[in-house]
Chain A
Amino acid sequence: MQTTVSPIVYHRRRRNSFWLLGCFVAGLPLSAVADERIGQIKTETGTVTIVQAGKTRPAQVGGPVFRSDTVITAGRSSVGITFADNSLMALGPFSRLSLDQFRFNTTTHDGTFDVSLKKGTLAIKSGQIVKQTPEAMRVRTPVAVLGVRGTEFVVRADGTES
């Protein structure tokens, strides 16, 4: 059984104070608003679960994802998610992605979108938030912050160069 760690506790374990500060600030609004539906699961293979406030639910095609959900895939498992601004994401096996922040105005397309890939592999095609405001989407990994200016890209969070 995998232990679930809240974003703040998780980052306390990191020694780098820059990260502690950055994630603490980013983490603050999370607990305040957690029930906003921001996307939908479109593809799934294997075993995929979603953790929200310590509660785990199975992911299923057609099911919602909410702000501050953490999406977790097992081995030989993957999941594809569409978001309200038409961003697309896919998680590969043994991955863990937390959806930290999502704000989107459907009229102006202003917004912000922050996710953290704690481990595993992630593919992203950015959507209307980034088209309106480059770098309004940020992807955090344990060692970097990626500012997205509008493109398709892949990220691995536990990678040593091969």
Chain B
Amino acid sequence: MFKTTLVLAPAIGVLLLSACAERSLVVVLPEPNGHVGAVVVHSGGSQTVLNKGYAAATPSARSANPLPAGTYGDEKVKRMFGETLAAMPEPPVSQDLFFKVDSLDLTPASEAALQNFLDKLKTRKAVEIVITGHTDTKGKDDYNDALSLQRAESIKSTLLPVLLKYGVGADSVAAVGRGKRDLLVATPDDTPEPRNRRVEITVR
């Protein structure tokens, strides 16, 4: 018993010390398209903004503690976070679909694009589909919100039997409307624009 205490004492000391020195590590990653966003690290009343690829900080309870540029790089991140990054889900993929004038029939180009898109489902696991309706800027917000949702719902019912063939059941398909918030082609308000009357299908 006495011996155990002797052995444990330093171990407990080390534990206490490391608890005092508790730190987190944050590393911002460059994205494949070259875009880098930012993470603001708040800690112990101080903060630091990480907005460059591989910018890093090791915040403790006392400070945000940004690290000098170059402290972390691709190799080091892979060594420390390799298993974690390997578990990242595939990014969602979207496809715009357009309709013949005054119709819910897809244009021939969109028919082809849809088929192409559906083929991607074969390689994905636990597929979820989101169908997002968009309108042009003609009309009021409420009207366009309702219209975009209606358009998405309508496409959803058309696509459900097709999606089922790819093993995607109705409970994995959602229809949402974005109204005129996400224009493909920027226009002034109250402007009819066929390219903005679209439905976007996303696989997640």
- A123→B88 contact, CB < 8 A: yes
- A143→B89 contact, CB < 8 A: no
Closest to A132 in B: B181
Which stretch, B29-37, B109-117, B153-161, B185-193, touches the partner chain A? Answer: B29-37
* Neighbouring A residues of B178 by C-beta, 8 Å: 107, 109
Q: How large is the interface on B (under 10, 10 to 19, 20 to 34, 35 or more residues)?
A: 35 or more
The answer, among B29, B80, B90, for a CB contact under 8 Å with A151, is B29
Give the contacts of A148-162 with B (CB-CB under 8 A): 148-162
The answer, among A81, A91, A146, A148, for a CB contact under 8 Å with B84, is A91
- B42→A146 contact, CB < 8 A: yes
Known: A61-B125, A142-B24. A121 touches B81 (CB 8 A): yes
Count of chain A residues with a beta carbon within 8 Å of a chain B beta carbon: 55
Cα–Cα distance between A81 and B181 once the two chains are bound (Å): 27
Interface centre among A107, A117, A121, A158 (most CB of B within 10 A): A107
The answer, among A42, A93, A156, for a CB contact under 8 Å with B83, is A93
- A61→B126 contact, CB < 8 A: yes
- B37→A151 contact, CB < 8 A: yes
Is A88's beta carbon under 8 Å from chain B?
yes
* Neighbouring B residues of A79 by C-beta, 8 Å: 87
* Neighbouring B residues of A49 by C-beta, 8 Å: none
Cα–Cα distance between A128 and B23 once the two chains are bound (Å): 29
Interface centre among B37, B43, B77 (most CB of A within 10 A): B37
Give the contacts of A100-141 with B (CB-CB under 8 A): 106-109, 117, 121-123, 125-126, 135, 141
Is A43's beta carbon under 8 Å from chain B?
yes
- B41→A146 contact, CB < 8 A: yes
The answer, among A93, A121, A151, A162, for a CB contact under 8 Å with B39, is A151
Q: Interface digits, B118-148 against A, CB 8 Å rule (1 contact, 0 not)?
A: 0000000110100000000000000001000
Is A62's beta carbon under 8 Å from chain B?
yes
Expressed in whole angstroms, the minimum distance between the Cβ of B109 and any Cβ of chain A is 25
* Neighbouring B residues of A151 by C-beta, 8 Å: 28-29, 31, 35-39
The answer, among B36, B39, B83, B125, for a CB contact under 8 Å with A92, is B83
Is A47's beta carbon under 8 Å from chain B?
no
- B24→A143 contact, CB < 8 A: yes
Cα–Cα distance between A18 and B126 once the two chains are bound (Å): 40
* Neighbouring B residues of A146 by C-beta, 8 Å: 26, 39-42
* Neighbouring B residues of A92 by C-beta, 8 Å: 81, 83-84, 87
Is A27's beta carbon under 8 Å from chain B?
no
- A155→B25 contact, CB < 8 A: yes
Expressed in whole angstroms, the minimum distance between the Cβ of A57 and any Cβ of chain B is 16
Given contacts A154-B25, A155-B25, A160-B23, 7 further A-B contacts (CB under 8 A): A43-B125, A82-B92, A90-B84, A90-B85, A142-B24, A144-B26, A151-B29
- A-B interface, 9 closest residue pairs, ranked by CB to CB distance from nearest: A151-B37, A92-B84, A78-B87, A144-B59, A42-B89, A150-B37, A159-B25, A62-B126, A141-B24
**Chain B contacts to A: CB under 8 angstroms:** 18, 21-29, 31, 35-44, 50-51, 58-61, 64, 67, 77, 80-81, 83-92, 125-126, 128, 145, 149, 174, 176-179, 181, 202, 204
Provide 12 A-B residue pairs closer than 8 Å at the C-beta atoms, listed in order of the A residue: A61-B125, A62-B125, A82-B204, A121-B83, A145-B42, A146-B42, A147-B39, A152-B37, A154-B29, A154-B77, A154-B85, A161-B25
